[in-house]
């Protein structure tokens, strides 16, 4: 299955407000792409357009050379002719069919012989752990079980493109974790191209090969999960991806306090690197896990901080600190001995600078490079 390409795609509903604006996006063959963003950012609309359930108001959608939508050419291929498997939040199982028959339904439509149908349905139900409820009806299942039957129904058909809209949202935390691993395995084994909508950044980071972040109908960045985490394109992505979120401190007209301290350090590492309108930072960001406590390992940025609270969470410790004029959170994966009121040294070797338009200033990357041997 070749790549899915969206070119200049837009969608507005009646009122004129754009749900999706000028979207250029390529989902590479065999990718597991997560469309990630806050509620209302246009990710479901994008998925529904790929599926053919909504028609774009501008642009082109193609799979390889096959154009599925072209507003300019008046071309539209209906969902059933796109050869894609869909699982949506409202999983729409047939209420009058048993679980087994629901899963067999798509295979029946494709005229798969009865014996093979049965075997494929059972294998798919086993995969999502609802094989024990095979002879029940949807109304006799929990929401989470229904969601898994919907997944099984799609998996049984084995399509080369799977479109999933928050298919794990009704599952409890443990099952969600299990299903994430399961979906990842299914992706690796089947070689299918998956487009997966979620507002959960952890879900996106853990499963995707590529993440596309959207906000207010516009694409913000497309990148591999760790690239996006390490080099977010702008302030929006920086704050949306990562938990707890990156702390971003605005730089005032005459930078003082924490922002001033960070900028002076940046300037000292790469003299002149921050000059010029293009490269003038308006904000500085630090991820909580990049803020360390204790003696710095070398010539990294450091300041004294007052511990305000220590919040142990089993495997990690979140510490609220007051650093100069700013409250910051640090996350440590080793026990924190400090107590409220203690003065400690905090340091970081990784900060992010943002320009006036919110874009991240990558020119500065590496300037804070740690002393050799420092723990990254
Ligand atoms: N059928 C519709 N008619 C009118 N407006 C719509 C329709 N569907 C979506 N919208 C609007 O389009 C925008 C994008 O909606 P969309 O469902 O794509 O967002 P989303 O990112 O998937 O959100 P969520 O995570 O809440 O599902 C929203 O402002 C929404 O209100």
Could you tell me if 134 and 186 lie in one domain? yes
Does residue 253 have a pLDDT over 80? no
Does 373 map to a domain? no
Does 210 map to a domain? yes
Could you tell me if 303 and 204 lie in one domain? no
pLDDT of residue 373: 31
Could you tell me if 234 and 251 lie in one domain? no
How far does residue 316's CA lie from ligand 1's centre (Å)? 36
19 Cβ closer than 6 Å to some ligand 1 atom: yes
Could you tell me if 93 and 168 lie in one domain? yes
Residue located via tokens 């995707």: 208
Average pLDDT over residues 80-97: 83
Ligand 1 pocket test target in 40, 43, 195 with most atoms within 8 Å of CB: 40
Q: Work out the percent of the chain whose per-residue pLDDT is above 70.
A: 92
Does 305 map to a domain? yes
Q: What is the pTM of this model?
A: 0.87
Give the ligand 1 atom nearest the CA of 47: 18
In the chain, the number of structural domains is 2
The interface predicted TM-score (ipTM) is: 0.95
Could you tell me if 223 and 264 lie in one domain? no
Could you tell me if 99 and 190 lie in one domain? yes
CATH assignment at residue 324: 2.40.50.100
Does residue 335 have a pLDDT over 90? yes
pLDDT in tens, 93-111: 899 999 999 999 989 988 9
Give the ligand 1 atom nearest the CA of 11: 12
Nearest CA to ligand 1 atom 30: 40
pLDDT of residue 364: 60
Does residue 197 have a pLDDT over 50? yes
Nearest CA to ligand 1 atom 17: 44
How far does residue 89's CA lie from ligand 1's centre (Å)? 13
Domain that holds residue 326: 247-364
Average pLDDT over residues 59-81: 94
């Amino acid at each position: 299955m070749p790549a899915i390409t969206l070119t200049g795609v837009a969608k507005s509903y009646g009122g004129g407000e754009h749900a999706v604006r000028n979207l250029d996006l390529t989902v590479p063959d065999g990718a597991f792409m997560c469309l990630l963003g806050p509620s209302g950012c246009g990710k479901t609309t994008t998925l529904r357009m790929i599926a053919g359930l909504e028609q774009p108001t501008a642009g082109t959608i193609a799979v390889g050379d096959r154009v599925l939508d072209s507003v300019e050419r008046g071309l539209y291929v209906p969902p059933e002719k796109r050869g894609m498997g869909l699982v949506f939040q409202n999983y729409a199982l047939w209420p009058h069919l048993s679980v087994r028959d629901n899963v067999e339904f798509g295979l029946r439509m494709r005229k798969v012989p009865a014996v093979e149908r049965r075997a494929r349905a059972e294998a798919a139900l086993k995969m999502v752990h609802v094989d024990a409820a095979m002879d029940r009806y949807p109304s006799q299942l929990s929401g989470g079980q229904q969601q898994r039957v919907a997944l099984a129904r799609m998996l049984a058909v084995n399509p080369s493109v799977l479109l999933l809209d928050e298919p794990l949202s009704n599952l409890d935390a443990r099952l969600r974790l299990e299903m994430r691993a399961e979906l990842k395995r299914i992706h690796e084994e089947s070689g299918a191209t998956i487009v997966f909508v979620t507002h959960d950044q952890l879900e996106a980071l853990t499963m995707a090969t590529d993440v596309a972040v959207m906000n207010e109908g516009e694409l913000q960045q497309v990148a591999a999960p760790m690239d996006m985490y390490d080099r977010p394109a702008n302030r929006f992505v920086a704050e949306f991806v990562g938990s707890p979120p990156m702390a971003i401190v605005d730089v005032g007209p005459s930078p003082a306090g924490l922002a001033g301290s960070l900028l002076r350090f940046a300037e000292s590492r790469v003299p002149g690197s921050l000059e010029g309108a293009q490269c003038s930072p308006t904000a500085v960001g630090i991820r909580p896990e990049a803020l360390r406590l204790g003696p710095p390992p070398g010539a990294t940025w450091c300041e004294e901080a007052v511990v305000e609270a220590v919040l142990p969470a089993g495997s990690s410790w979140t510490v609220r600190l007051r650093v100069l004029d700013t409250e910051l959170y640090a996350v440590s994966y080793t026990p924190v001995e400090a107590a409220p009121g203690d003065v400690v040294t905090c340091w970081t070797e990784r900060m992010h600078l943002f320009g006036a338009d919110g874009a991240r200033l990558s020119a500065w990357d590496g300037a804070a490079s740690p002393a050799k041997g420092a723990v990254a």
